[in-house]
Structure 1
Amino acid sequence: MGLQENKYTHLVELGGSDYEIVEGEPDIRGWDVKNKVGLKFGEVDELLFDPQTKKVRYIVVDVNNSELDTEQKKILVPIGTAVLYDGKRIQDNDNLLNRGNENSINEDVVVESGSQSATQHYDKTTYNPYDDGKVVVIPVSVEYILQLPAYEKEAISPETELAIRRIFNGLDETETNSGAIEYKPDEFYHHEHFDEEKFYNAKTSSGIRKKL
């Protein structure tokens, strides 16, 4: 089956749906999103989930509210790549921030301040998310943030999701092109990028439930 024949309606935004966050789990919409050197590259705009499985698949990040000198867009971040802080580490997995692209340990980034722009250096050793309040930390470099395709509601395709995976894996495009034709959502989400246990600590099977 070619990409153009796929009907892609299985992912829905949480806002405006008949679902809600499970009681006791954080609703991260509106939280700052930073990488592991402390560069703010956006805010959480929405959560994209599968109503059938009640699994959150992506965080929708609004890059418009960022320190980056980049195009205005929203991007999708796989849920299993995120680490939450709220004055403390919310997840139990201590190894998440040690994963991801190591180019994000030190970065020189062009940031905007009003009509001025300047190059600012970010160093992982100087950033402590425990002191940052409510923040979502994604271990990805600015280079990869800029490469992520713009998110358009109800316009996601297998090609888009595969492009996001390539970027978070740091893979060359040719390594996954052949897999695009055989895209199968059920198998695709078995990848560690979508492991909700790294994001939610709920005793239930998911952080999303039908509204009561």
Structure 2
Amino acid sequence: MISLSSLYYKIGNFELKIPELIFAKGKIYKIKGGNGSGKTTLLRLICGLYRQNSGRIEIFGASNQDENWLYRAGIYLDESFLIDYLTPLEFLNFKGLFYKIKPVVIDKFSNEINESISYKLFSNEKLIRELSQGNKKKVGIYSSFMHDPEILIFDEPFEGLDEKGRFLLIKLLSEKICDRIGIITVHHEVDLKGSIKEGEIVELEMKNGSLSYS
């Protein structure tokens, strides 16, 4: 569980205020909002990349500043989460070392992803920096599923993905969310209904630093 209480963050003229919010297991929380609404700021606060002015963020009952929870999370917010001088397969193996995943599991995962999108994304053919924007995002997002995390946090994951890429992401989310927490942001509407079970999607709207149910 992720809980926010009396959360307040201010930078310049922008203020983010969330009195109370709980992200529970078995749900995908889809946060919709325009540019500058505070979606990315909220994710960065949850991930501990920004520090709130006041209030508390707890993950699995401890402060989000206790970094142990990160081993149980799959996060991709932007290209800074990649290592662009590695190839996609090298990056996957690097993450495998971090999460102590056996090479045979890494190979199985990379082959399954490559087959699903009919493209050798996880290979040593190119460096990550040489990939298209869409393929960079695929590397970051798909690799976040490899260690079977309990929390998934993605910032606008569908933007820039082709049809096969979007389909695979929805498939992965639908398969993994039963006992996990998913938080995604969207700028344009993304219809997850029909692909993900009813009751597993919670729709929120972010506007001017405030969240409401939509």
Q: Give TM-score scaled by structure 1 length.
A: 0.26
More helix by share: 2
Q: TM-score, normalised by structure 2?
A: 0.25
